[in-house]
Amino acid sequence: MRKTIAVLAVTAGATALLTGAGLAAASASPAASGTEHFSLMTTQPSASKYTIIASGVFTAGGVDTSGSSTDTAKFANGTFKIHHGGKVKVVKEQLNPRTCLELAIIKVKFTLGGGTGAYKGLSGSGTATINVLAIGSRSKGQCNPNANPLHNEQTITATAHVKL
């Protein structure tokens, strides 16, 4: 499970925060600022791509491509970077040795920048919460927390103050 959490903490920038197949075009007011909410999810262990939906100052859907300390959020009308290379706080970590159910809650701070297109000039920072629920695989009848899980759900909810 520690390997899974380490991989998730690194890949889930905003946290764990996109190929051009955006779900909706972004709408933004020039020089707008306020609270932006991000929701990301995947069912792939060690995912490098997450579906992302943003709402608040702008609303858009797209894909977040994970990096070790920086993700790229890509929407139909532009991109921006999510920097998440700071400290990771493991809030909760559980492994049920009988059922191999794994649960983890992780928090990480992030900053936004490097925008292109509609997101040129975007800046901001916030906190992301990464929730992991998985059923781990077994090795010789025991849960193997270092192997990829059999089933996996990862969700990231993040909130940031942004200026666009």
The pLDDT, as a whole number, for residue 6 is 41
| Whole-number Å distance between alpha carbons of 55 and 16 | 17
| Whole-number Å distance between alpha carbons of 144 and 103 | 14
- Cα 90 to its chain centre, rounded Å, is 15
Helices vs. strands in the chain: H and E counts, helices first: 1, 12
Q: Say if residue 119's pLDDT is above 80.
A: yes
Among the listed ranges 17-31, 70-84, 128-142, which one has the minimum average pLDDT value?
17-31
Q: Where are the domains of the chain?
A: 2-26+34-163
* The pair of three-digit structure tokens given for residue 89, joined into one six-digit string: 């706080």
* Non-local CB neighbours of 117 within 8 Å, separated by 6+ positions: 77, 78, 79
pLDDT tens profile 37-55: 999 999 987 778 999 999 9
**Is the pTM here over 0.85, yes or no?**
no
